């Protein structure tokens, strides 16, 4: 979850963020 800050800074689309979250999970 700490990586969420990185995605927010990069302004990655929510759809991509969801894919990354699934990978970490």
DSSP letters spanning the chain: -TTHHHHHHHT--HHHHHHHHHHH-
Q: Which domain holds residue 2?
A: 1-25
Q: What is the pTM of this model?
A: 0.20
What is the pLDDT at residue 17?
65
Measured between alpha carbons, how far is 11 from 23 in angstroms, rounded to an integer? 19
pLDDT in tens, 1-25: 566 666 666 666 666 667 766 766 6
Start-to-end CA distance of the chain, whole Å, equals 10
What is the pLDDT at residue 13?
60
């Amino acid at each position: 979850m700490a990586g969420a800050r990185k995605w927010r800074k990069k302004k990655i689309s929510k759809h991509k963020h969801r894919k990354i979250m699934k990978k970490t999970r």
